[in-house]
Structure 1
Amino acid sequence: MIGFGAGAGWARELRIVTIESAPFGFFAEDGKPTGMMFEIGNLIATEAGYASTNRIEPYQRTALSVVRGDADFVLRYGNADLAEGAIAVTRVLGLPTIVVGRAPNAWRSLAELAGKTVGVPRGGRFDPAFDADPRIQKYEVNDYAQTMRMLMRDRLDAGIGSSVGLYYNAIKLGIAKEQLGPPLVLSTQYFELFFCKANADPTVLQALREAVQRLEKRNAIRAVVDKYLHGYPWALTSR
Structure 2
Amino acid sequence: MKQTREAHIVLKVCIFLTAAFLFSQVAAAEKEPAQAQPQTRTHLRAAIFTTAPWGMLANGSEIGTTAVAHEAELDGIMPSMVRAVSETIGEPIELVPVSYARMFSLLKTGEVDFAFFFRSEASEKVAIPLVETLVMKTVLVARPETVSRLNGQLTGLVIASPISIRYSMAFDSRPDIQKVYVNDFTQAVRLLVRGRVGAVAGPVASLVYSFRKEDLNPENFAILYEINTNRTYLQYSKNSPLPQKMDAIVAAAQKHTKSGLFQSFMDHFVGEQQASFKPLTASK
Q: Do the two structures share a fold, i.e. TM-score over 0.5?
A: yes
* Residue 14 of structure 1: aligned partner: 44
Give CA-to-partner distance per residue, 1:23-57, whole Å, 9 cap, x none.
11122339611111111122123234433221212
Aligned counterpart for 2:203 among listed residues 155, 159, 162: 162
What SS does structure 2 have at the residue aligned with 1:99?
strand
Cα distance in 1 for residues equivalent to 2:217 and 2:152: 27
CA 153–142 in structure 1, closer or farther in 2 if over 3 Å, else same: same
Letter in 2 for 1:20: T
Q: Taking structure 1 as reference, are residues 107 and 193 closer, same or farther at Cα in structure 2, changes over 3 Å only?
A: farther
Distance in 2 (alpha carbons) for counterparts of 1:208 and 1:110: 46
Amino acid corresponding to residue 25 of structure 1 in structure 2: G
| Equivalent position of 2:128 in the other structure | 87
Distance 1:58 1:110 in 2: 34
Is 1:226–2:264 an aligned residue pair? no
Residue of structure 2 equivalent to 1:77: 118
Measured in 2, the distance between the counterparts of 1:163 and 1:72 equals: 27
Which of 56, 78, 81 is the aligned partner of 1:26? 56
Q: 1:109 to 1:89 in 2, by over 3 A?
A: farther
Aligned 8 A contact 1:150 1:156 in 2: yes
Q: TM-score under structure 2 normalisation?
A: 0.69
Q: 1:138 & 1:151 partners in 2: Cα distance?
A: 13
CA distance, structure 1, for counterparts of residue 199 and residue 88 of structure 2: 39
| Mapping 1:1-239, distance limit 5 Å | 12-29=42-59, 32-78=73-119, 82-106=123-147, 111-182=152-223, 184-199=225-240, 204-234=245-275
Q: Which runs of 5+ in 1 are unaligned?
A: 1-10
Shift of 1:60: 2.3
Q: Which moved more, 1:221-230 or 1:95-104?
A: 95-104
Farther off after superposition, 25-34 or 105-114: 105-114
- Give structure 2 stretches of 5+ with no counterpart: 1-40, 61-67
Worse overlay, 184-193 or 73-82: 73-82
Q: Match for 2:156: what amino acid? A: G
Quote the RMSD (CA, aligned, Å).
3.1
Report the TM-score, using the length of structure 1 for normalisation: 0.81
Question: Aligned partners of 2:241, 2:149: CA distance in 1, in Å?
Answer: 44
Distance in 2, Cα, partners of 1:200 & 1:206:
14
The change in CA–CA distance for 1:238 and 1:150 in structure 2 (over 3 A counts) is closer
* Counterpart amino acid of residue 93 in structure 1: L
Greater radius of gyration (CA): 2
- Identical-pair percentage: 24
CA positional deviation for 1:183: 5.0
User: Which residue in 1 is equivalent to 2:17?
Assistant: none
Check the 8 A contact 1:67/1:82 in 2, yes or no. Answer: no
CA deviations on 1:155-186 (whole Å, 9 max, x unpaired) are: 21111111111111111111112321245322
Q: Deviations over 1:115-173 (max 9, x none)?
A: 22111322222133322333323222332111111111122111111111111111111
Q: 1:144 to 1:57 in 2, by over 3 A?
A: same
Partner SS for 1:18? strand
Give aligned pairs, total.
229
| Higher RCO (Cα < 8 Å, 6 or more apart) | 1
